[in-house]
Each structure stands twice: as structure tokens, then as C-alpha cells.
Amino acid sequence: MSGMHSITLGHYLPGNSLLHRFDPRAKLLSLLIIITALFLVNTFNGMLFFVFFLLVAFFSTNLPWRYFLRGLKPVLYIVFFTLVIHVLFTKGGQVFWRFGMLTIEERGVYLGLFMTLRLILLVIATLLVTLTTTPIAFADGIEFLLRPLRFLKVPGHEIAMMMTIALRFIPTLMEESDKIRKAQMARGADFESGNVFRRAHSLVPLLVPLFVSAFRRADDLAVAMESRCYHGGENRTKMRQQQITALDYLGVLTACGIAVAIVFTGV
Amino acid sequence: MLIETRGLSHTYMPGTPFQVEALKRVTMSISAGEFVGIIGETGSGKSTLVQHFNGLLKPTGGEVLFEGNNIWTGEMNLRGLRSRVALLFQFPEHQLFEETVFADVSFGPRNLGLGGRELDERVRFGLEAMGLDFSAFKDRSPFQLSGGEKRRVAMAGILAMRPQVVILDEPTAGMDPRGRRQFMEQVSRLHREERLTVILVTHNMEEVARLAERLFVFYHGEMLLQGRPADVFGADSLIKDTGLEIPPLSELLQRLRRQGKGVRTDIFTVNEAAQEVLQLYRKECV
Ligand SMILES: Nc1ncnc2c1ncn2[C@@H]1O[C@H](COP(=O)(O)OP(=O)(O)OP(=O)(O)O)[C@@H](O)[C@H]1O
Ligand SMILES: [Mg+2]
């Protein structure tokens, strides 16, 4: 139960901060710029600037920090794994510790910490965007960013629509799987004990009804869309017309400025 | 007492901005062999409550007891408990997954370790208790049945575990009136003949007033009222404050009573009410 709802990645929290009001297109563009910069920076000082910048951004949003930290939980394993791999296998510099074949060396510790920090900052930046943007606005932003690729025949609108639908149905399907799991547990199903094969087998009573219901929902949705004469992106207008304001330009410029400054002073 | 709760509270997603206090300090008890109804407007916590009775949800406050033992202290085998306290979820037809009706109905008993003749008999009992012919249905695919038949098969799967208690969460929602009546008649017969304890969650006031011996009324996660249907739906009851309506028959009899006519108001079947009104007619108009 609690496991189901601890996945907050992309779970929008309503609010009225500057980041909440930031135009989704501008917000996504800024996120792209910041992420690129995060990949380019390769000094600790540069990273510290990012830490400072993201902290300021975080506090400006008034998001509850507990909730925010929970969103970081799913990536902690990857972060930990990265750290361990670097510390154990990257060689160079002073040797801190030796045990048979294994050594821990200066360069490994340095790179490990650096990569870890980079990963965490990447997730924080992304969370700051997904937690302050409604899924619909998010998809609108994606569609906008994919527009230049139209000439390569990338179906921007369709991709955005698929994303919206997928995002919309994640909570529904989680609820559904929770319900089916409980219904089968009420019939004595055991999802927890036994070896890998037994456990995989015990998932059948969960997965079959889940797929049946997902297909039923998909079918219903397709009928509903068709009966409203939905057709793809060409000439389609939007209910919520987003107006880019001076503030949004300023936001993107700030992101650019910070990125350029950090990358060029840090390198 | 068979099932008891003491100060039971449940909060969904505590510590997040989405936290919901679904149950607040509920203390209630249900005896073996009873037929009780649980009513309350939508979102009042009924489904949350009944999922505590067989340990599908863990209380965030207070305790749940089965035959006097706290079900969460570790000595209780939760899977064993679930075979004795069976729960039929809302829209149970969505849980069907096997290729044949037989395989699906036998899922519960198989999880109890049964096989062979015993298994056959359990499945037969379940299907026939729900008015489905064993040999006609056992080899059909559950996905090709009608909605009402699917629901009976799901119920048969619960009954095949031979539970002491069945909890039914809105079992007849979305069924046609005749199917609904038949379904409830079969449940009611199991209650009378097999001394099955029934806990019925429903929005159908007429049905629950007619069938249940005792009612619990929920409102915003609290248990506001409990008692016999006649008291809960009685003239001076608080029931209207909880967003529920009293059954039309009760409304009629109570109005007559308010006009000074000597009619009984603890009647919930059309036949008895007709008798009562006829008597009144003979007394006053002939
Ligand atoms: N899995 C869940 N996660 C979070 N909140 C939930 C969950 N299930 C129920 N709730 C909330 O708890 C409250 C009680 O819900 P519950 O399902 O127990 O009501 P109910 O009385 O069964 O309603 P209905 O008559 O509509 O079935 C509601 O406010 C609901 O939104
Ligand atoms: Mg419910």
C-alpha cells in the first residue's frame, strides 16, 4: 500500500509560486538548459553554484521538503550504485585503502562523489519542474519543444497526447492494481513468499485482470475520443492558450545566464 | 464477539499533502451469525472499514479483534483469517482471471491447500449457492459470461472457501432489479440456513432495512448511529443529518403516524406495509 504511493516522481502539487506560474514551455526549456549545463560542468566549485541555485529555486516554491525528499527515494539505489562502482573501480592518485585486489584511490572517491552529486542535482531539477507543472501543461510544453522536429516528420502532437494519456492513467492503474491485489489476497493469494518462480507465477492472478482492465479502458477512451471527432495535431486549437510573458523570457534568460556563467567559470 | 474494533482509525498517505483521515476512532462489534448493514454516503469510510476486518488494511490507530484476539499482534495467521472472513469487493467481476469458471472459483480453496474431491465439492457448493448450474458453467470462460453471471461466479469463488463471515461491498451495484433481488435472496438464504455471518455495505436503503438485523451508519469517517433498522430509520432518528434517505415505505408509514393514525412504523416489506394500510383503511373508511 504505502509502496504504491511513495512514487512521487511527476506527481504535481498545486501552488502559486513563481515556478508554478512559469510558462511550461519556458520551464521545460530552462530545465533542458540546466541539465545540459549540469553535464558540462566538471569542477566541484561549479557544482556548488548549482546546489545554491537549486536550493534557492526549491525554497521559492514552498514545496513541503518531506514530500520532496520522498521523490528522491527511487533514485537513491542508482546513486548508491554509481558511488560504489566509482569508488572501487576508478584508479588514480593516492591510495587510501588496500585489500587484496581491491583498492580505494583518490580519483575514485573524487569521481564517485562528483557523479553522485550530479545525479542528485539532475533529479532535483527535474522534480522541481514536474512537481510544479500539471501533466497537461507538461505535455503542452513537450509538444512545443518537439515543434522544430516537424520537418523530420516527428509527430510532436501525437507524442504529447500519448504522454498525457499515459500520465493520466498511471494513478488509475495503480489504484486498480492495488484493488485487484487486495481482492486476490482476500481469496488467499500470497504474493510475498516462495522462490522467484513461485512469485512470478503468483502474479498471474494480478496481471491478467490488470491487462483486461487496461485494454477495456483504452478501448473506452478510444471510443470516447472518436465520438468527439478527435483527430491529430493539424489545425487543432487549445482550450488553455498559454501566453508567454516578459517574466517567462526573463526566466529562460536567467537559466541561460546561470548555465553559461557556471560552465565558463567552472571549466 | 466475532469481530470487534476498538478506537479504529485509518489515515491514507499520512504525512503527505494528500493525507485523508478515512476512519476516526470507530468502536463497534459484530456477533457470529448476525446480518449487519453498513451504510453512509459516498466517501464516508465504509470500504476502508471492511478492509480492516480481514486484515487487508492495517489500522493507523486502535485495534481490530477477531474472536477476541488482536489480528495484528503476530500470533494471528492473516491468510487463515482471510479464508474465514471473506470479502467480496465492489465490482468483483474485475478480479476474474482463469480460463474456466471452475479454475477461477477454485482459486480460493486451492490457496487453502485443497484438491481432488473436496475441491470439486467446494466449487459445486459455491456455484450452486449462487444459483449457477455446476455442469453448465464449470468449463465456460469467465470472460464470456454476462455481467450478472460474472458477479455470481466471483461470489461463488468467495463462498467456495467456506468462510464464517462474508463481507459484501456494494454487491448489487449496477445490476438490474431482478438480478439484484435474486442475488440478495441467495445471500439471505445462506445466512438463514448456514448461519453465515453477513456484513453488507450498500447504498440501497430498502434492501438493507429489509435484510439486516442491525445497522451501522457512517458519516465522514465516524460511526454516528447504530441499531435496529426500525430505530435507525425511525421518526426521531438523526439519519437525515448524515445525507441518507429513509426507505419510501418508512417515509409513508411515518407520515401516516404523524397524522395521528395508529400504524406500525417498523415494517420494511411491501406485503406487510400493504396489510397495515389495508387495516387502517378498514378501520377508518368502512
Ligand atoms: N487507496 C486510497 N488512497 C487514498 N485515499 C483513499 C483510498 N481509498 C479511499 N480513500 C479516501 O478515504 C475516504 C473513504 O473512502 P471509502 O472508499 O472508504 O468510502 P466509501 O464509504 O466506501 O465510499 P463509496 O460509497 O463511494 O464506496 C474517501 O475520502 C476516499 O477518497
Ligand atoms: Mg466503497
| Structural domain spans, chain A | 2-266
Task: Give the alpha-carbon dihedral of A190, A192, A193, A197, to 10 degrees.
Answer: 90
Q: What is the pTM of this model?
A: 0.80
Question: Three-state SS for B133?
Answer: coil
Picking from B95, B112, B161, the nearest residue to A183 by CB comes out as B95
Ligand 1 centroid–CA B172 distance in Å is: 19
Which chain B residue has its CA at the smallest distance from A65's CA? B16
Q: Is B116 left (phi over 0), alpha (psi -120 to 50) or beta?
A: left
Neighbours of A25 (CB within 10 A): 20
Angle (CA) B164-B167-B169 rounded to 5° is: 165
| Structural domain spans, chain B | 247-286
Asked if A187 lies within 8 A of B111 by C-beta distance, the reply is yes
The neighbouring-strand residues paired with B6 are B63
pLDDT of residue A1: 36
- Distance (Å, whole) CA A99 – CA A55: 39
Q: What is the ipTM of this complex?
A: 0.87
The neighbouring-strand residues paired with B30 are B3
Asked if A188 lies within 8 A of B83 by C-beta distance, the reply is yes
What tens digit of pLDDT does each residue of B259-271 get?
888 888 888 888 8
* Ligand 1 neighbour B52 (Cβ under 6 A): no
CB-CB neighbors (< 8 A) of B123 in chain A: none
What tens digit of pLDDT does each residue of B11-69 get?
998 877 788 999 999 999 999 999 999 999 999 999 999 999 999 999 999 999 999 99
Mind telling me how many Å the CA of B99 is from chain A's nearest CA? 10
Asked if A188 lies within 8 A of B111 by C-beta distance, the reply is yes
Which triple of cell numbers denotes residue A25? 514551455
Tens digit of each residue's pLDDT, chain B (286 residues): 899 999 999 999 887 778 899 999 999 999 999 999 999 999 999 999 999 999 999 999 999 999 999 999 877 788 889 999 999 998 998 889 999 999 999 999 999 888 889 999 999 999 999 999 999 999 999 999 988 899 999 999 999 999 999 999 999 988 888 889 999 999 999 999 999 999 999 999 999 999 999 999 999 999 999 999 988 988 777 888 888 888 888 888 888 888 888 888 888 888 888 998 898 888 887 6
Mind telling me how many Å the CA of B89 is from chain A's nearest CA? 6
Task: Calculate the alpha carbon distances from B35 to B3, B129, B192, B272 in Å.
Answer: 13, 17, 10, 21
State which residues have CB under 5 angstroms from ligand 2, the bound ion: B 47
Label residue B206 exposed, middle or buried (CB < 10 Å: 0-12, 13-18, 19+): middle
